[in-house]
Amino acid sequence: MPDLAAAQRILRTTFGFEAFRAGQGEIIAAVLDGRDVLAVMPTGSGKSLCYQLPALLRDGVTVVVSPLIALMRNQVAQLCGYGIAAAALNSANDPAENRSVLEGIVRGELRLVYVAPERLVKPETLGLLTRAKVSLLAVDEAHCISQWGHDFRPEYAALGTVQAALGGVQTVAFTATADAATRTDILEKLFPRAPAVFVHGFDRPNLRLAMQAKSSGRRQITDFIKAHHGQSGIVYCASRRKTEELADVLRQSGVNALPYHAGMEAAVRSRHQDTFLQEDGIVVTATVAFGMGIDKPDVRFVLHADMPANIESYYQEIGRAGRDGLPADTLTLYGMGDIRLRRLQIDDGEASNEQKRVDRQRLNALVALCESPRCRRQTLLAYFAEACGPCGNCDFCCDGAEVIDG
């Protein structure tokens, strides 16, 4: 069985890194040891390497379940750049391309295959994989499995049956955002045997956290972005229309801004994403459709032009900044209208009463973070059951709070 020394050689020769990041080594050791694994690691800590590297040290194919086509494209391109035989099966490929991927699986030519959960649960895909030699099932963004996760997807909930159909194949699952209830749900739904569980903290000390009540929305946005002139950043908006309008406003003030949302033509959306990934100084104004798995290390700021959906979405979205470990800036603008809209969305949704109760708690936690009179990082980490002292890198620690006599 391959050991960690073999993994470190591949880390250097194939991926070009001198050493594992914090937490990677012990997770990779557990995977190489044949253990099932559930790992919660902060965004930017190198989760994907924890299944990509073991895939190169064993026979057979590693099947990676991934929720977004953009994410798959990004990772497959990266792996092919390293000279690794990787491909994706998804609806954006033409039929001939998908056929060629399926043939590559049957012939044993591929080391990693990325598959959307909707396609994976199809009988024909599953039938083909049961005949191929699948050595590892890796589930990315595993919080999507849980009904308590902030981004539950019903297709993900069926992955337990996929695991069983593949003969109880070794399974590893990764996420950046899973509180205790979400972790318990993932364990019950995905793993027939107890996995090794790794929870590697939620703190990203290089991110500066700041919140502001909306006063002059557009002026606040343009002032913040001017202070980051020439830097790459993401501005999250609550609506598709706002992404387009804000991109226009920013372009008029000399910022190289591109909109991104699910309603755009696919080719334009892909072009905007590729421009952002490959060029410097691009600002993307986007809905939450942009970002899961976007691996651009030098995003220097994330600005929420509207309040995020809940505290876990907030954590995941700001996590797109500063993946290179260097200082990055975040600012969230919020208003009573935002809070009212989010409450209405929960109340009018089709979720169960129990789910609505959890969603209200998550929203309340985010509102408390926006309005908290103490260190933002202490408030944020307390939600994930972690403690820290005053951080010295948030608006409260740096600027203090404005106090009025009520």
Q: Which residues pair with 113 in a beta bridge?
A: 63, 87
Kindly write down the DSSP assignment for every residue of 194-214, as one continuous string: PPEEEE-----TTEEB-EEE-
Phi, psi of 296 (to 5 degrees): -105, 115
∠ CA 373-374-380 to the nearest 5 degrees? 110
List of residues 6+ apart from 270 with CB closer than 8 A: 70, 73
Cβ atoms of residues 323 and 43 within 8 Å: yes
**For residue 150, what is the DSSP state?**
T
DSSP class of residue 394? B
Q: What is the pTM of this model?
A: 0.82
- The phi and psi torsions of 112 (rounded to 5 degrees) equal -135, 135
DSSP β-bridge partners for residue 199: 40
Q: Which residues contact 184 (CB under 8 A, 6 or more apart)?
A: none
Kindly give the parts of the chain with pLDDT less than 70.
1-2, 292-293, 401-406
Angstrom distance (rounded) from CA 290 to CA 225: 19
Instruction: Give me the pLDDT at residue 251, please.
Output: 96
Please report the pLDDT score of residue 153 as a whole number: 85
pLDDT score, position 352:
87
How far is Cα 303 from Cα 306, in angstroms, rounded to an integer?
9
